[in-house]
Amino acid sequence: MELPQSFAQRMKGQLGLDYTRFEEALHQPAPTSIRLNRNKLPGQPSLPRIPWTETGFYLPERPQFTLDPRLHAGAYYVQEASSMFLEQALRQHTDLSQPLHVLDLCGAPGGKSTHIASLISPDSLLVANEVIRSRASILAENVTKWGSGNVVVTNNDPRDFSRLPEFFDVMVVDAPCSGEGMFRKDPQAVNEWSDENVNLCAQRQQRILMDVWDSLRPGGLLIYSTCTWNLAENEQNIAWLADQEKAQPLSLTLDPAWRVEATSLNGVSGYRFYPHQVQGEGFFLAALRKTGEYEAPQRSTKKKKYKLALAGKKEQALVNDWLVEPYRFAWVQHGEVISAIPENLFEELDELYQNMHVIYAGTEIAEVNGKKLKPLQALALSQHFNKAAFRTEELVLESALRYLRKEDIGISGNSNDWILLQFEGLPLGWAKQVGSRLNNYYPKEWRIRMELPGVLEFKSWGVREVRKLER
């Protein structure tokens, strides 16, 4: 990798004698890390922990994640280790046991969104937004697989959030940046880098921050991050925002063993990750608190007109036992789809539907087809799913992968049942048995496209059991 000359000169000035180690690190293989979904995999794997998060682990090698059914079941997420530092900002500056409204503004592909969903309380609301439509669909897929049920995925420009003044307690802005911290993982980022692009990114980041600032409540927390190292996109932007809006800079308590570098500019603290110091990629994070006192708006006594429509009592009765603790949810119907949303968040979700472009919300439970209901993929992957309501079948590795490729698989019996298919106790999705035939209902757009190898060594994240898939 040939680093751009002006970038190398700046980093030499920034790092001094450490620059040689920094450059050497960029030529080493990037570490591989995952974050577990504790609601699906509660055990403790025999893997080295990422120290700044409770659910992140390093892998000794990079397996073929696509051929691991547990990934498709939402049991874990493949995420870069440095970015999991977000957890420290949330834990140290918010009470995560309280109901919160959280915005992940630049959410795709879903690493931070699923991480936040794991940290907030079940009666909290997470709005995961992505401005690019195709990436918003990927975000919705990953949120669905994670299965939290209290997440709304939106596809909006940051300026659209001005329609929701003082709506959020926490905003996470993982801003689009020049990508310097990803040079090791993405050689294309090196080719696209330039001083001009750095300046353009810094200006765009300022616009994004100002576009969403009004939707943060007084007393609310802003967490800003990038995967780059220059001052313009990091410390200077946050110092500018703190001065512009008279926001309160926040510092974090670090363990020296983490080797995260704390910085300061005009009284604003920042935290930098360098690949020669931490086992991770380049990353920057800073936190601010919006000053002022929040006054909750007075509830109108007028009867409100809702955009969300409740499902009919007949349909509700049919799906009521499909979730654990169904009384916690409101059943809404959008077209032919019945969804479950947390009852306590009904008004907030309705406000989002009235003001934003919502592409996914809560948990899509069933599709109404005349007098019959078809269970949907999101139900199978929900953390609130009551598996006892359906017949289940456990698949071996080969059958699980064939199912995820949307191929035909065989199951004994002769019936007319919806069947929940599982791998190692983890739901994968639905099949419908019609007599002796089995119809595969795995979503076409999610299917595994790569060919299965002649012999597959299935490693449990590279360290434990090894199985062979004979073809």
Write out the H or E segment, with its range, that includes residue 316: helix 313-319
Containing H/E element for 239? helix 235-245
- Altogether, the residues listed in the chain come to a count of 471
Q: Would the annotation count 68 as a binding residue?
A: no
The two counts, helices (H) then strands (E), for the chain are 13, 23
Helical (H) or strand (E) element with 250? strand 248-250
Phi, psi of 149 (to 5 degrees): 90, -10
- Whether residue 130 is annotated as binding a ligand: the answer is yes
Name residues whose C-beta falls within 8 Å of residue 307's C-beta, 6 or more positions apart in sequence: 350, 353, 354
Strands 101-104 and 125-129: parallel
Q: Which residues pair with 469 in a beta bridge?
A: 456
What are the structure tokens assigned to 235, written together?
């410390």
- List 269's β-bridge partners, or say none: 264
| Segments in 122-225 forming alpha helices (H) | 133-146, 187-192, 195-213
**Two tokens at 387?**
């598996």
Q: Which amino acid is at 408?
A: D
Residue 385 DSSP symbol? B
CA distances from 177 to 127, 163, 199, 234 (A): 21, 26, 10, 10
Query: Which helix H or strand E contains 367, and what residues bound it?
Result: strand 363-369
Residue 227 designated active-site: yes
Question: Two tokens at 414?
Answer: 């002769």
179 to 104, 153, 183, 235: CA distances (angstroms) = 19, 25, 7, 16
- 8 A C-beta contact, residue 91 and residue 53: no
Task: Find the catalytic residue in 106, 177, 201, 227.
Answer: 227
How many Cβ atoms are within 10 Å of 192's Cβ, its own excluded? Answer: 10
3-state secondary structure of 218: strand
Q: Where are the alpha helices (DSSP H) in 322-461?
A: 346-355, 377-381, 397-404
Q: Which helix (H) or strand (E) holds 374?
A: strand 372-375
Spatial distance between the Cα atoms of 74 and 385, rounded to a whole number of angstroms? 13
Q: Among all chains, which residue has been given the structure tokens 């595994």?
A: 448
Cα separation, 262 vs 3, in Å, equals 25
Residue with tokens 């998060």: 53
Residue 174 marked ligand-binding? yes
* Residue pointed to by tokens 């006192």: 293
Radius of gyration of the chain (CA): 23
Q: Which residues are annotated as a binding site?
A: 130, 157, 174
Q: Which residues are annotated as a binding site for S-adenosyl-L-methionine?
A: 130, 157, 174
What residues are labeled active site? 227
